Amino acid sequence: MTNVYFVRHAEPDFNIHDDIKRPLTEKGKTDAKLVSMYLRDKEIHEVFSSPFLRAIDTVKDFADEVGLSIKIIQDFRERRVDSVWIEDFLSFTKKQWEDFDYKLSDGESLREVQNRNINALSEVLCLYEERNIVIGTHGTALSTIINYYQNTYGYNDFEKMRMLMPWIVKMQFKNNECLNIAKIDILNRGIL
């Protein structure tokens, strides 16, 4: 059995519009320590992350604590929305969930994000079979992964978790087959 703990990043500073360099807020940094507390007894063998700073920094405290390096995988990055900041993000997001191929001229569709993330996950599952793995990730990227294995997961589910930061989803795999998905709210907000 391979256990994958997807860790959706903690609260980022939305005042920084550079998606790659957007840091965590002070609350986000504090909440990242709760991620470490949760993962501490999970016997983690490998830590991976999106290349985006907020995802790396959410799992960094844990990786440092247990002496593991974070392996960056470009394809675990978040969806590219467009080359400009989108003001009406909620309407855009809803359109994407209604049509998995919808995208702006310089962005990615949810199907593209899903394919990219599933391909990266499949490679990790192949190379690190029978291990306990952490992957630092993002809300949309993670939602498309959940949707791939649980096709009833859609826009309403995404909306429920949109502000859950950090958020952990544990998936159990036998080879490439997902056997179980558990959604874990480490801040005990009671919404999943």
CATH code for the domain in which residue 165 is found: 3.40.50.1240
Q: What is the pLDDT of residue 2?
A: 98
Residue 155 lies inside a defined structural domain of this protein:
yes
Handedness of CA 16, 165, 183, 186 (dihedral sign): positive
Residue 189 lies inside a defined structural domain of this protein:
no
Q: What is the pLDDT of residue 190?
A: 56
Domain that holds residue 75: 2-184
**Residue 75: phi, psi to the nearest 5?**
-75, -5
Question: Angle at the Cα of 77 (from 32 to 108), degrees rounded to 5?
Answer: 135
Per-residue pLDDT of the chain (192 residues; tens, 9 = 90+): 999 999 999 999 988 888 899 999 999 999 999 999 999 999 999 999 999 999 999 999 999 999 999 999 999 999 988 777 777 888 999 999 999 999 998 899 999 999 999 999 999 999 999 999 999 999 999 999 999 999 999 999 999 998 899 999 999 999 889 999 999 988 876 555
Q: Which tokens in the block code for residue 68? A: 């593991």
- Total domains, the chain: 1
Residue 191 lies inside a defined structural domain of this protein:
no
- pTM tops 0.75, yes or no: yes
Distance CA 39, CA 134 (A): 9
